[in-house]
């Protein structure tokens, strides 16, 4: 895969993240003290750890009903959010985002137990030490980091499980990464194909799947909002976060990574500010698309803005789901 060589190995990616943190940046704004999420249902994937867990606590403090969609941590992470926020309105639903059947079960449970969701935060991701094959034959990082977001969000939309109120459009928030700028091009021929890889290629693939994710976010906004704005689709990069994201890094690298993360990276509580802002801010009502890097509004990479790429990704994703026996009903 051709790369722009900024995020294509763990050392470069970490150093670039630290440099970015110390650069002077603009700020889009801050939440007004009277802004809240009372009456809103917020669903967060990957809410058991790091950024997702910190976001769950913050949106619960702001009064939201929180649906924590998790692979692990039931019930203890929900109890942690209840204690931290003082809210009892916390629901936990299990999912394995590497498994289509598990996502289908999640969507059924949302329909039966939750009803419509006002704000969807697609946050879960994995940085895998090597390629692992899912039950459907996909590469796990491709499935969890891109395709599950496509499949889950489109399933929720198809089943009218995301609220539609033209006065207060629903928000779909996608946690991306600045590393989406690193791949030099799309590799459409290899789309969805299992590619064996070792840890050396993981960081480059992570950036590539974030490129797919951000391209999907822009295309989704374009398709949903053709006549009027019904859904705000927002994407962001939280900057470097002291989370569990590097849990699969080689053992010899772990102590140094943990030290660097602790010394230089932001805590999940600090890093979730753009996620919470995008979920809550009144000033963003009726915006169709926005991307934040930390708290600065930025344009996404031009490859992701190119509607020919967005259409191609949309078509290939739909075809892949059909081919694997999971058409969007
Ligand atoms: N950390 C950074 O420096 C950084 C920088 C830029 C962007 N981001 C993005 O921020 C988001 C959150 O990451 P994080 O840093 O908070 O990492 P994290 O602490 O590792 O959290 C990742 C979350 O994803 C969940 N997850 C992974 N595989 C899953 C699966 N198959 N099914 C369901 N859930 C699954 C994990 O669940 P378990 O707890 O069960 O494993 C966990 O809750 C990701 O999208 C990441 O790409 C992070």
DSSP calls for 202-267: HHHHHHHHHHHHHHHHHHHHHHHTSSS--EEEEEEE--SB-SSTTTTS-GGGHHHHHHHHHHHSBP
- Our answer on whether the CB atom of 14 is closer than 6 Å to any ligand 1 atom is no
In this prediction, residue 199 carries a pLDDT of 83
Sheet strands side by side (includes 90-94): 90-94, 65-70, 41-45, 119-122, 170-175, 231-237, 289-293, 296-297
pTM over 0.85: yes
- Our answer on whether the CB atom of 124 is closer than 6 Å to any ligand 1 atom is yes
Among candidate residues 230, 233, 256, the one with its CA nearest the CA of residue 169: 230
Cβ-contact 212, 179 below 8 angstroms? no
Rounded to whole angstroms, the Cα distance separating 137 from 64 reads: 37
Q: Which atom of ligand 1 is the closest one to the Cα of 179? A: 6
Domain boundaries, the chain: 95-171+183-223+281-329
- Our answer on whether the CB atom of 238 is closer than 6 Å to any ligand 1 atom is yes
Rounded to whole angstroms, the Cα distance separating 282 from 258 reads: 37
Q: Is 182 helix (H, G, I), strand (E, B) or coil?
A: coil
- Our answer on whether the CB atom of 213 is closer than 6 Å to any ligand 1 atom is no
In this prediction, residue 238 carries a pLDDT of 97
Per-residue pLDDT of the chain (329 residues; tens, 9 = 90+): 777 767 777 777 788 888 887 788 899 999 999 999 999 999 999 999 999 999 999 999 999 999 999 999 999 999 999 999 999 999 999 999 999 999 999 999 999 999 999 999 999 999 999 999 999 999 999 999 999 999 999 999 999 999 988 899 999 999 999 999 999 999 999 999 998 988 888 999 999 999 999 999 999 999 999 999 999 999 999 999 999 999 998 888 889 989 999 999 999 999 999 999 999 999 999 899 999 999 999 999 999 999 999 999 999 999 999 999 999 86
Ligand 1 center from residue 130 Cα (angstroms): 16
Is the peptide bond preceding residue 75 cis, with omega within 30 degrees of 0?
Answer: yes
In this prediction, residue 289 carries a pLDDT of 98
Mutation test of ligand 1: which of 17, 20, 51, 146 has the most ligand atoms closer than 8 Å to its C-beta?
51
95-171+183-223+281-329 CATH: 3.40.50.720
Ligand 1 center from residue 132 Cα (angstroms): 17
Among candidate residues 177, 203, 186, 185, the one with its CA nearest the CA of residue 7: 203
Helix 273-280 vs helix 50-61: crossing angle, to nearest 10:
40
Residue 220 CA: distances (Å) to CA of 17, 93, 284, 305, 309: 28, 25, 17, 12, 12
Residue nearest to atom 47 of ligand 1 (CA): 125
**Which tens digit of pLDDT belongs to each residue from 115-159?**
999 999 999 999 999 999 999 999 999 999 999 999 999 999 999
- Our answer on whether the CB atom of 242 is closer than 6 Å to any ligand 1 atom is no
Ligand 1 center from residue 126 Cα (angstroms): 6
- Our answer on whether the CB atom of 50 is closer than 6 Å to any ligand 1 atom is yes
Ligand 1 center from residue 167 Cα (angstroms): 32
Ligand 1 center from residue 252 Cα (angstroms): 22
Residues 6 or more apart whose CB falls under 8 angstroms from that of 176 comprise 210, 213, 214, 217, 235, 236, 237, 291
- Our answer on whether the CB atom of 153 is closer than 6 Å to any ligand 1 atom is no
In this prediction, residue 253 carries a pLDDT of 86
Ligand 1 center from residue 275 Cα (angstroms): 14
- Our answer on whether the CB atom of 237 is closer than 6 Å to any ligand 1 atom is yes
DSSP calls for 29-64: ----TT---TT-EEEEETTTSHHHHHHHHHHHHTT-
Residue nearest to atom 6 of ligand 1 (CA): 177
Q: Which atom of ligand 1 is the closest one to the Cα of 123? A: 45
Residues 6 or more apart whose CB falls under 8 angstroms from that of 311 comprise 219
- Our answer on whether the CB atom of 10 is closer than 6 Å to any ligand 1 atom is no
Ligand 1 center from residue 247 Cα (angstroms): 10
Q: Which atom of ligand 1 is the closest one to the Cα of 210? A: 47
Helix 100-109 vs helix 148-158: crossing angle, to nearest 10:
30
Q: What angle do CA 204, 207, 211 make, to 5 degrees?
A: 135
């Amino acid at each position: 895969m051709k790369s722009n060589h900024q995020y294509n190995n763990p050392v470069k990616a970490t150093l670039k993240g630290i440099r970015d943190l110390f650069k002077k940046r603009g700020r889009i704004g801050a939440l007004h003290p009277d802004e809240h999420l009372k009456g809103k249902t917020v669903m967060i994937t990957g809410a058991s750890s790091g950024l997702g867990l910190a976001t769950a606590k913050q949106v619960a403090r702001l009064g939201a009903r929180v649906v924590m969609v998790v692979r692990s941590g039931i019930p203890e992470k929900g109890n942690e959010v209840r204690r931290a926020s003082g809210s009892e309105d916390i629901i936990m639903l299990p999912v394995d985002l590497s498994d289509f059947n598990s996502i289908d079960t999640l969507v059924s449970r949302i329909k039966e137990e939750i009803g419509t969701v006002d704000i969807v935060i697609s946050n879960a991701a994995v940085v895998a030490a090597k390629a692992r094959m899912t039950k459907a034959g996909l590469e796990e990082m491709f499935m969890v980091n891109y395709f599950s977001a496509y499949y889950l969000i489109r399933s929720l939309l198809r089943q009218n499980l995301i609220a539609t109120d033209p006065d207060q459009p629903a928000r779909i928030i996608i946690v991306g990464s600045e590393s989406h700028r690193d791949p030099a091009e799309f590799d459409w021929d290899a789309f969805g194909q299992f590619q064996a890889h070792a840890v050396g290629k993981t960081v480059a693939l992570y950036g590539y799947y974030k490129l797919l994710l951000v391209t999907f976010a822009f295309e989704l906004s374009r398709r949903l909002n053709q006549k009027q704005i019904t859904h705000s689709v927002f994407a962001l990069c939280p900057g470097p976060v002291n989370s569990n994201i590097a849990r699969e890094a080689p053992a010899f690298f772990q102590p140094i990574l943990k030290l660097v993360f602790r010394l230089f990276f932001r805590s999940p509580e600090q890093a979730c500010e753009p996620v919470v802002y995008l979920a809550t801010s009144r000033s963003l009502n009726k915006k169709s698309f926005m991307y934040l890097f930390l708290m600065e509004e930025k344009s996404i990479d031009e490859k992701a803005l190119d509607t020919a790429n967005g259409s191609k990704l949309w078509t290939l994703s739909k075809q892949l789901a059909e081919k694997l026996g999971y058409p969007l009903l």
